Amino acid sequence: MDVKEAIVGRRNVKQFKADEIERDQLLRWLDTARYAPNHRMVEPWQVVVVGPDARAALHHGANFGDAPVVLAFLSKTAEHPVDRDENIIATACFVQNFCLAAWSDGVGTRWTSIGTKPGAREILQVPEGYEVVVVLGVGYPAEVPVAKERTPIAEKLRELG
Ligand SMILES: Cc1cc2nc3c(=O)[nH]c(=O)nc-3n(C[C@H](O)[C@H](O)[C@H](O)COP(=O)(O)O)c2cc1C
């Protein structure tokens, strides 16, 4: 699968098969993700493999679509708001790289905002100076959702003289 196919074909998967994800494969996708752009090579991301106890404590309504793997992606905070924003942007690039690398091997991801829930920081043992960007379910899709329609790019494009 080439990169354009992965970008267009990737979907936010709602429900996963029970098939396990091999740790080596998971690490390969994370290795690939490290090549994300990041200002001054801060590499602001950290990844937490969310084990069964932490996962249960998060009480996600849909149990992450029964994903066999749950990962939390953290970003380094910063005193200056611009630096903090840049770190979140770089971490989001890292996450998207991970999602695309997994997708190119037939594995899907499900985004959740559960990291913003009160208590999530403690459950995920987020270190001082980091914040949660997203918690992802990862696994083989039980079903691939139909792509939601996107706004034609012409409506989002302006040209300056
Ligand atoms: C920052 C961010 C937060 C998101 N949070 C959630 C979420 O809490 N629950 C959810 O079902 N999807 C979440 N999503 C996924 C979007 O709902 C999904 O990407 C969108 O519906 C488009 O679908 P697609 O990714 O399959 O193209 C999130 C996506 C982003 C980028």
Substitution candidate for ligand 1 out of 58, 113, 116, 131 with most atoms within 8 A of CB: 113
Q: Which atom of ligand 1 is nearest to the CA of 11?
A: 26
* Residue pair 98/36 in contact by the 8 Å Cβ criterion: no
Query: pLDDT tens across 91-148, in order?
Result: 999 999 999 999 999 999 999 999 999 999 999 999 999 999 999 999 999 999 999 9
Distance, CA 112 to ligand 1 centroid (Å)?
A: 7
Continuous H helices in the chain: 3-9, 23-33, 52-58, 81-103, 120-123
Domain spanning 3-156: which superfamily? NADH Oxidase (3.40.109.10)
Give the domain ranges of the chain: 3-156
Site residues for ligand 1, CB cut-off 6 Å? 11-12, 111-113, 145, 147-148
In what side-by-side order are the strands of the sheet with 130-139? Answer: 45-49, 69-76, 130-139, 108-112
- For the whole model, what pTM was predicted? 0.97
Beta bridge partners of 69: 138
Reading the block at residue 119, the tokens are 């208590």
Q: Which of 12, 60, 117, 135 is the best mutation target for the ligand 1 pocket, counting ligand atoms within 8 Å of the beta carbon and taking the most?
A: 12
Residue of 111, 135, 151 to test ligand 1 pocket, by largest number of atoms within 8 Å of CB: 111
- Three-class SS state of 140: coil
In terms of Cβ atoms closer than 10 Å to its own Cβ (0-12, 13-18, 19+), residue 16 is: buried
pLDDT, tens digit, for every residue of 45-90? 999 999 999 999 999 999 999 999 999 999 999 999 999 999 999 9
